[in-house]
Amino acid sequence: MVSGQYKRVSSRLASVLLALILLSTLASLSACGGATAVQQQAQQKQAQLDRSLQNARIIGVPSSLMTPILQQEQQLSATAAPLTLFNDQPTTDYYRNLATRYGQLQIQLQGLVQITTDQFRSQAQRDMQNLQLSLTHGRTSGLPVQYFSQQFQLCQTSLASARNPKDFAAISSKAKEAIQSLALLQTTSDQLTTLKQTIAQMKKAHLDVTALQMQYEGDQQTLTQAQQPQDFQQLSILINAQYQQAVVNTTQALPYITVAKLSEFEVKINTLKHYGGDISVYQKKLDADRTMMQRTNNVQSYMRFAQQVDADIASMSADIAQEEAHYLLQQFHREVNAWGNAHLYHDSDNGQNYPLDGGYMQQGIGSDLDFAFSEAATPDDYQAMVDEANNALFNLHMMEQDYNDHIPYNKVHATDMQMLAHYKLQHSQVVMISLAGQALRLYQNGNLVRSFQVTTGRVELPSIPGVWPVLDRKSPTVFKSAEPKGSPYWYPDTPIHYAIMYHSGGYYVHDSWWRVDYGPGTQFPHTDSGGDQSFAGNGSHGCVNVQEQQAAWLYSNTNWNTMIVIY
């Protein structure tokens, strides 16, 4: 009896519990209407974030940079809504917070994409600037750089349309490969010069050099057609093989060639001595090589001798390049300081005197050259420094010469023609900017098209002399100060109508609607006759300022392949 009663009670309790569960479920289902909308919003935010992450990968944002965002998203996805029976507010709050977090990650990703794009753009601009420097050296050295000039123009076209990290990375890659090829072009050209000298030595010995001369001419042709680094590497191996084969086949030439080898080594030692380097170690090597030469009487011994001398010469190449670069750099600084101290601009506005070659001093290209020298590590790096120092000296001499040229600013200046000839730009469009004359002259194929007076950088922030490519073109844009508010160089956000970037770091040729006066003296403190004195009373922050209508004309009549030369 008790057992039956217990069963009936248990049955009733089970029914009650089941009813309560059903009521709770119904209540929960009824209450979930609000949470469902917020849940869908969170899912949409997550889906949007996933699409943005995928797009970021496609446009070239490195996965390593997106890892923190991906990890945070995974952590969010691993969480679950709280379980509630009668109140859906905790669930609603959970999904609302989830949607907010996904939205924050979306904003973080957008910022990452923008920063990455800016970094890749800046790198591409620096690489293009370095490629232009390599091309300039190649042209002034008389090397066959036509192919690389075409590649440079193609990269410039790509730079004009590049929008995302992948675009800029591709430009950087092509520019760096071209720079590597140009360095190998110089090295291989030097090998051919040595081969040519060997042929001349063999001719003096009245030896038949017909076959070797034909090989040399073929190598020269191959050099003009080489494009990729591996092309130059293969040609280098071929030249060495030809040289060694010529020696093997012509034992009569050994005495002449051995003397030539030692003479080359001796010239290198004297060069190092001229630049102030320590020659003691190399002098000992030369003495040892002279002794070794006396024992050279057959092909095998010559080959050993030649390899030793080549190794000795190669061992000093870094020292020669480093000492030459240091020597030229010190010469450059001495000449800049001497000329600047002897040619001071007296500013009647404040009674101060200012050097007229500020762009070449430490605050200008001087510090750039010093930094490049401090960063150099390889013979190629130091050789590049030699080229830059020589060009800087040439530009300085042209500026000094132009200072004494009293021909009107809107006429052809002799120094312009010398700059075009030196840098092989007679068949290009060139914006020529004279720091001494504060003038801009546009040349097309060596012919003067139009001239303007300009205002270049102030003493503390001068415009940078050199041969520069166009790195960006913007119309319109807004310049934002890189200096914090309170700095003497800070300026408010400034709308610019026409801007042509000539140097990485934000150096532009652009309009300056706040000025009225341009020309000599406006790069120093002065009273502008009608402009905004708070901005117009001094030179620029390193840019080249042009009157607005003239800047509009210049922008419309130049392009991405225009060269900008400042001296």
Q: Where are the domains of the chain?
A: 32-117, 148-249, 409-566
Tell me: pLDDT of 291 over 60.
yes
Place of tokens 């002799």: 414
Q: pLDDT tens digits for 516-526?
A: 999 999 999 99
Tell me: pLDDT of 26 over 50.
no
Start-to-end CA span in the chain (Å): 117
Rounded-to-10 torsion of CA 369, 370, 375, 379: 70
C-alpha torsion sign, points 123, 124, 129, 131: positive
What gap in Å lies between CA 498 and CA 510, rounded to an integer? 5
Per-residue buried b or exposed e for 120-135, using 16+ beta carbons within 10 Å of the residue's own CB: bbebbbbbbbbbbbbb
Residue 262: which residues within 8 A CB-CB, separation 6 or more? Answer: 286, 289, 290, 293, 309
What gap in Å lies between CA 345 and CA 379, rounded to an integer? 40
More confident residue, 219 or 295: 219
Confidence label for 109 from pLDDT (cuts 50, 70 and 90):
very high
Q: pLDDT tens digits for 414-459?
A: 999 999 999 999 999 999 999 999 999 999 999 999 999 999 999 9
Give 566's strand partners.
433, 466
Output the CA angle 494-500-501, nearest 5 degrees. Answer: 90
What gap in Å lies between CA 163 and CA 174, rounded to an integer? 17
C-alpha torsion sign, points 276, 277, 278, 280: negative
What local confidence, expressed as pLDDT, does residue 11 receive? 57
Instruction: Verify cis geometry, omega within 30 degrees of 0, for the bond prior to 476.
Output: yes
- Top-tier CATH class for 409-566: mainly beta
More confident residue, 211 or 170: 170
Closest CA to 546 of 427, 429, 490, 463: 463
How many CB atoms are closer than 10 A to CB 248?
A: 12
Beta strands in 480-540 (DSSP E): 494-496, 499-503, 507-511
